Amino acid sequence: MTSSELWNRATAERYDAEETGMSSAEVLGPTLDFLAELAGDGRALEFAIGTGRVGVPLRERGVPVTGIELSPHMAAVLRRKAGEDVLPVVLGDMASTVVPGEFSLVYLVYLVYNTITNLLTQDEQVACFRNAARHLAPGGRFVIELGVPPLRLLPPGQAAVPFDVSEGHLGFDTFDLVEQVLVSHHLTRDGEDGRYRRESSRHRYAWPAELDLMARIAGLERERRVADWDGAPFTQDSTRHVSVWRKPL
C-alpha cells in the first residue's frame, strides 16, 4: 500500500487551470527537447503522469508514451486529451506497478509538487528506483527533476519557509527535520468573493546524493546532473536539479 496521498476529483478538475504557467511553450519546450532526445527511437514511461502535462505533448512529438498514475481522477482528465490507444495509462503507484515491455526512458517530472517526494518513506523511494530499473532496457535512462530541500533558508528556531507570496496565493513549507518530511501549505484565492481555499500535502524530501545512492541500490549509474532542462550547471546555489541515471548495457 503506497503512502502517497491520493488526489481527489476536485483537485484534478482544477489542476490544469491552476498550472497554466507550467504548460507554456517557454517552460515545457526545453523539457520535451531533453526527454525526446533521451528517448530516441524507443518508448517512454512516465511515473505519476497526472493530467498529461508532459506525456501528451511528448507523445505528439512522436515518442510512444505510457503512464502510471495513482489517482483515477487525474487519469480521467488526461483521458479527455488522449485515448487509451494513443497514450495507455495504468492505475497504480509508481513504486510497485509494472507495465508490459521495456522502455528506453522512464521519467518523473517536477510540478509544483515534487513527484518522488509524494512517497513518504525512504523504502518506497528506493522501490521507485528499482521499479524504474525494472522497466528500462539496457542502456536506458531514468530521469528525475526535483527541488533541492531549501533548508539553508530555515533559520534556527523557525519552522516554516515561504515559497510564494502573491496576490492570489500564499505558499509555505513546514519541516520535520527528524523524519525528513515537509508539509506544503497553500492558501489560494478561490473566485472573486475574496475567499481563500486552504490545502496541504506531505512530502519526504531527498538530497541529490541520497538519490544517487538509491540509484546505485537499483543498479543504475549516474550519467549527469544539471540545474534545469536547458542544461545549466548544477551548483551549490541551485534550487532544483535534473538528474539522469543509466542502466548499464
Distance CA 9, CA 15 (A): 10
Residues 155 and 115 in one domain: no
pLDDT tens for 88-142 read 999 999 999 999 999 999 999 865 446 899 999 999 999 999 999 999 999 999 9
Residues 72 and 20 in one domain: yes
Residue 1 located in a structural domain? no
Task: Report percent pLDDT > 70 for the chain.
Answer: 89
CATH code for the domain of 38: 3.40.50.150
pLDDT tens for 188-238 read 887 767 788 888 889 999 999 999 999 999 999 999 999 999 999 999 999
Task: Tell me if 112 sits within 8 A of 185, measured CB to CB.
Answer: no
Task: Tell me if 107 sits within 8 A of 72, measured CB to CB.
Answer: no
pLDDT tens for 64-99 read 999 999 999 999 999 999 999 999 999 999 999 999
Residues 124 and 186 in one domain: no
Residues 87 and 194 in one domain: no
Of the CA atoms within 13 Å of residue 85, those in its CB half-sphere come to: 0
Total domain count, the chain: 2
Nearest CA to 53 among 112, 125, 103?
112
Which helix (H) or strand (E) is 30 found in, with range?
Answer: helix 25-39
Residues 82 and 162 in one domain: no
Q: Please give the grid coordinates belonging to residue 182.
A: 515537509
Q: Please give the grid coordinates belonging to residue 242.
A: 535534473
Neighbouring-strand partners of residue 44 = 65, 105
Residue-number span of the structural domain to which 27 is assigned: 9-148+207-246
Residue whose C-alpha cell reads 489560494 in the numeric block? 188
pLDDT tens for 161-192 read 888 898 888 899 999 999 999 999 988 887 76
Residues 31 and 139 in one domain: yes
Distance CA 152, CA 164 (A): 17
Residues 66 and 39 in one domain: yes
Residues 131 and 102 in one domain: yes
pLDDT tens for 216-225 read 999 999 999 9
CB atoms near residue 90 (< 10 Å): 15
Q: Please give the grid coordinates belonging to residue 180.
A: 525528513
Residue 70 CB partners (closer than 8 Å, separation 6+): 2, 4, 6, 7, 48, 91, 92, 93, 94
Task: Tell me if 188 sits within 8 A of 196, measured CB to CB.
Answer: yes
Mean pLDDT of the chain: 89
Number of H helices, E strands in the chain: 6, 11
Backbone angles phi, psi at 75, to 5 degrees: -65, -35
Distance CA 245, CA 130 (A): 12
